[in-house]
Every structure is written in C-alpha cells, then in structure tokens.
Amino acid sequence: MRFSILPSATEPIYRQIIEQVRRQVASGQWPAGTELPSIRNVAQEHAINPMTVSKAYSLLEAEGLLERRRGMGMVIAAIRPAGDPDQRLALLEPTLRDAARQAAQLGLGRAEVIALLRRCLDEATED
Amino acid sequence: MRFSILPSATEPIYRQIIEQVRRQVASGQWPAGTELPSIRNVAQEHAINPMTVSKAYSLLEAEGLLERRRGMGMVIAAIRPAGDPDQRLALLEPTLRDAARQAAQLGLGRAEVIALLRRCLDEATED
Amino acid sequence: MRFSILPSATEPIYRQIIEQVRRQVASGQWPAGTELPSIRNVAQEHAINPMTVSKAYSLLEAEGLLERRRGMGMVIAAIRPAGDPDQRLALLEPTLRDAARQAAQLGLGRAEVIALLRRCLDEATED
Amino acid sequence: MRFSILPSATEPIYRQIIEQVRRQVASGQWPAGTELPSIRNVAQEHAINPMTVSKAYSLLEAEGLLERRRGMGMVIAAIRPAGDPDQRLALLEPTLRDAARQAAQLGLGRAEVIALLRRCLDEATED
DNA sequence: GTGGTCTAGACCACT
DNA sequence: GTGGTCTAGACCACG
C-alpha cells in the first residue's frame, strides 16, 4: 500500500505514482474500493510536496481510475474490472515494442536479446 | 539512411535522432565516412524544425561520433570502431531492465513476457 | 480567441477555461489545428497565475481535446470531429435536466418555466 | 418525504438537502408543521455521514425555515408562508440564466433549446 | 481529518 | 519563445 518513489529518476514523480497505481489496479492487487494513502501521508513519507501527489491523484481521477470520497480520501473506482492477463500484457507491449525496435537497429540477434531479457527478469523478481 | 521520427512520442525529437545514429554506428550499418542526410532534408521530410536536427547533429559532433565536412554535410567519424556485440547489448539493457520491472509489478509470468517479446521482434525485423 | 474569466465566480478559474474551450470546439468555432493563446499570455491578460492556466490546458490534453506542439504551444487536437448539433445539445442537457428537476420541486407550470427561459435566452444573445 | 441525493454530483451533499427543503417549502408541498425525516434515517438511506445531514438541518434552522421539536425531530417552521409564484420563479432563474449562456456559447438556436427543455420537463414530472 | 484552489517563484527541457 | 515540474505556503470546503 506504499509507493516506491525515486526523486532522482528522469520520470517525473507524479508520473511514477500514476504508473504504479495503474499497475496495481491492472494486476488486481488493488481491487475496487481500495483506499489510497492520503495525499498528506504520501507527501510526508517521501518528503515531497503535497501538490505533486495531488496532481497524480487528480489525473487518475480524470482518467476514471480513482473516485473522490469527499472528506474521506480517494478510492479505486468501481467501474474498472480487474485487468485480465491480456489487458496487463497490453500495458507492457509498448515498452517491449520499443526494445525490439532498438534491437533491430543494433543488429542484434533474437537469441541474444531474449537471453538478456531472461537475465533482467531474474533480477527484477529477486527484489 | 532515413530516420524514423515520432513527434508525438514522449522522447524528445533531438534525442530520437541521436539514439538512432548511435545504434546505426554501433551495429556497423553506418561505417566511418557515411554521409548523413542534410539538416534541411530531415527537417522537411518530418516536418520538424531545422534547429532540432541541428541540435542533434551538433551534440553528436561534440561526442566525436560525427565530423563536419565543409560542403559535404556531416559524415560518420573515422575514429569510432563498430561496437562489439557485448557493447551493443549493453545499449539495449536499460530498456529491457525497465520492461522486466514493469512485468513484475504487473504480476506477469516469464513465459508470457518472453512470448510477447518474440512477437515484437518479428514485427520489428519485418520493417 | 480570448477567454472571459470571472475570478469572483464560484466556478474555479481553471474550470471556466476548460468549459470555454469545450464549447468553442463543440460549436466548431475552433476547428482542429487552432492555436491556443500561450499560457503566459492568458495569465498576464487576466492577472492570474500561469499554473492555473497550465492546469486547465493539461486536463484538456489528458482529455484528448488539445495536443502539445513541443516548444510551440498547444493546438486543438485533430481527432475530434466538429460537434454536430446533437452533440452540442447533449452538452447542454445536464443543465436543463437539473432546471427541470428544480421546477418540478417548486411546483411550477411548464408555461411559466418556458417563458422564463425565453427571457433568459433573449438576454444571453444580446451580449 | 424523501430526498434525492447524488453523492457523486459536484454540488455538496449538505447543499443538495438544503435546496430541496427550500423548494418543497416554497412550493407549499411541505406546509408548516411537516415533520422531516430523522437525521439517522436520511443518513442510513443514502449511506452518507449523519454529520452532513445535521449540518444541513442546522443551517436551515438558523435560517428560520426549520424548528427543533424535542422528541419529534425537526418540523417546518410556522413562520414562513408558501412562496408566491413569482418568488418561486425567482429561485429557478439563476439556473436558466446559466443554461441560456451555455446555449449561446454553443451556438444553439432558441427552438432547439426550448424543445430540449420541454423533453426534460416531461421526464422530470413523470417521476 | 480529507482534498481543492490559487499564488509566487524557481529551474529545466524543447524548438 | 514555448510548456513541464516542483516547492512552499495560504486559505477554503467538505464530512
């Protein structure tokens, strides 16, 4: 129920938050009705400005993924069904498509690329 | 000998150009002496600002990857040897590492992810 | 091509801007490609903070109504077809539906209500 | 004798309650002495916070429209006479004025707007 | 307690 | 020139 935020990353903080919420919802780990940590809490924990968190939450609300419960914080919207596996794969596709394009421009073979992905997957699941 | 540029992508245009030149050189597809398309040409073809192309070329020149030949435009510098396979793989690694992190957060299995990458590689090499 | 902003209204400023852009697009007065006044311009003209204008533009971009031309301001997105009359009426419907509900609770007759609307329409078109 | 409350509307809940009581009184549908539903009942029925209902009732009491009868809950105060038709129309005017302004910005014709209002009035009186 | 709005000002990135 | 991001702090509205 906590965000992992890297202030030094090139990706802006508010977008890091947005992406994490999207993935948590798509993976079914945050079902409809889940209460999000309050803006002030997130801001304090990560020593960032409340406006930055608010911006992320507001955009997610405009997107329909969050609902405001006035005076009571934000919750995951009921509308969204839990993401099925295909939907989750679709979220990953743009990144892999870009990787494939880069591999082609680098003249790399399929086997090499897939072997490298395997290694990265191992690292990522270790954490 | 043409760039593929997506003005709507999140990656800035000048950086798209830089990365493509780097990959073409690393893969040996653009050996030393290869002439680059003129700034004016690139700008017209993709309906982008000539200043943007100029910025990319200038940065590549400062990096030593390009050389300015008066009257001939820019050419790939003689100094840089084509990257060996490991070096080329290293250029791809950050993207795959990010993809693996996303896959983990989405709760996707290794097999699914690798299958999707295979499909993307097929598409990318068709072009 | 200018916004009319009332800082004293109960409706927040950024929302006043959003609603005006939506109506201008729906009515066909701002076709696709129309350049919007720059954030700094709008902010200066109305003596409001650039962030406020930026918030309106960003939300309209997230909505798909605006597109960013990097380094060159915002334009009306090409995707949206000019609103047909039915679409424009649909934008008005929620307000009229609310008015009808109020009239019913007030026990007012149809004729009275419609006569009042006529008077209001006269006033609004005078301006 | 029940309220219609939409927690998702932009209008705050306590204000929705206040406005409805005002209209029922102005229209004479709730004459002096009418008992209002208890705070607990309203809160349960609409799954809202009792404090919210209490706030609405208290404001209406301060306004003189309601009276607190110990053990009987709140009743419509005797003082207020039912509003005459002109007074009731005046309560509706701001909403219609806003609708007319929107219609003008949308470039809609008088006939269309009035026809739509007729349809909305039909719907509203059906309920 | 919750989030919303606005301000003022800084710094960065892109064209 | 353009918009984007973030900070710091004030005040309001809602429950």
d(CA A43, nearest CA chain B) in Å: 22
The Cα C101–Cα C105 span in angstroms is 6
d(CA C50, nearest CA chain A) in Å: 15
Distance A17 CA to F8 C1' (A): 21
Q: Are C104 and C98 in contact (CB under 8 A)?
A: no
What pLDDT is attached to residue D25?
87
Q: Are D119 and C92 in contact (CB under 8 A)?
A: no
Most confident of A110-119, C97-106, D34-43: A110-119
Residue C80 has pLDDT above 70, yes or no: no
Choosing among A67, A69, A70, A74, which should be mutated to test the D contact, i.e. which has the most D CBs within 10 A? A70
Residue C72: nearest nucleotide (C-alpha to C1'): F2
What pLDDT is attached to residue D11?
86
Given a cut of 70, the residues of chain A with pLDDT beneath it are 1, 80-83, 127
User: Which tops the pLDDT comparison, D85 or D26?
Assistant: D26
- What are the beta bridge partners of residue B75? B35, B67
Q: Using the Cα atoms of residue B14, residue C56, residue C46 and residue C51 in order, give the sign of their dihedral.
A: negative
Average pLDDT over chain A, rounded to an integer: 89
Chain D partners within 8 Å of A71 (Cβ): 49
Chain C partners within 8 Å of B8 (Cβ): 67
What pLDDT is attached to residue D96?
93
What pLDDT is attached to residue B124?
82
Chain D touches chain B, with at least 3 Cβ pairs below 8 Å, answer: no
Nucleic strand F under 7 Å from the C-beta of D55: yes
Q: C63 and chain A: CB distance < 8 Å anywhere?
A: yes
Specify the residue for token string 């997506």. Answer: B6
How far is Cα of residue C99 from the mean position of the Cα atoms in its chain? 19
Nucleic strand F under 7 Å from the C-beta of A15: yes
Q: Are A96 and A88 in contact (CB under 8 A)?
A: no
Looking only at the bridges linking them, the beta strands covering A66-68 and A74-76 are antiparallel
Mean predicted confidence (pLDDT) in B101-121: 92
What pLDDT is attached to residue B9?
82
User: Which tops the pLDDT comparison, C81 or D46?
Assistant: D46
How many CB atoms lie under 10 A from the CB of residue B74?
21
**Nearest C-alpha neighbor of C114 from the set D88, D20, D24, D96:** D96
Q: In which band, very low, low, confident or very high, does the pLDDT at B81 lie, cut at 50, 70 and 90? A: low
What pLDDT is attached to residue A127?
63
Distance C51 CA to E6 C1' (A): 9
d(CA D13, nearest CA chain A) in Å: 9
What pLDDT is attached to residue A46?
93
What pLDDT is attached to residue C27?
86
The Cα C77–Cα C32 span in angstroms is 5
pLDDT in tens, C21-46: 998 898 888 999 999 999 999 999 99
Residue B94 has pLDDT above 70, yes or no: yes
Chain B partners within 8 Å of C67 (Cβ): 8
Nucleic strand F under 7 Å from the C-beta of A121: no
Whether the full predicted model's pTM is greater than 0.75, yes or no, is: yes
DSSP-derived secondary structure for chain A: ------TTSSS-HHHHHHHHHHHHHHTTSS-TTPBPPPHHHHHHHHT--HHHHHHHHHHHHHHTSEEE-TTS-EEE-SSSPPPPHHHHHHHHHHHHHHHHHHHHHTT--HHHHHHHHHHHHHHHHH-
Looking only at the bridges linking them, the beta strands covering B66-69 and A74-76 are unpaired
Instruction: Determine the 3-state secondary structure of D88 from DSSP.
Output: helix
CATH class assigned to C13-76: mainly alpha
What pLDDT is attached to residue A124?
83
The Cα A67–Cα A90 span in angstroms is 24
As a whole-number percent, the residues of chain C with pLDDT over 70 amount to 95
How many CB atoms lie under 10 A from the CB of residue B69?
11
Residue B51: nearest nucleotide (C-alpha to C1'): E15
Residue A16: both structure tokens together: 């890091």
Choosing among C24, C87, C95, which should be mutated to test the D contact, i.e. which has the most D CBs within 10 A? C95
Q: In which band, very low, low, confident or very high, does the pLDDT at B99 lie, cut at 50, 70 and 90? A: very high
Residue C64: both structure tokens together: 């798909």
What pLDDT is attached to residue C58?
95
Distance C50 CA to E10 C1' (A): 14
Mean predicted confidence (pLDDT) in C62-82: 86
Domain with CATH 1.10.10.10 in chain A: 13-76
Distance A33 CA to E15 C1' (A): 44
Contact partners for chain B, using 3 or more CB pairs closer than 8 A, are A, C
DSSP-derived secondary structure for A60-89: HHHHTSEEE-TTS-EEE-SSSPPPPHHHHH
Choosing among D84, D92, D112, D126, which should be mutated to test the C contact, i.e. which has the most C CBs within 10 A? D92
Residue B79 has pLDDT above 80, yes or no: no
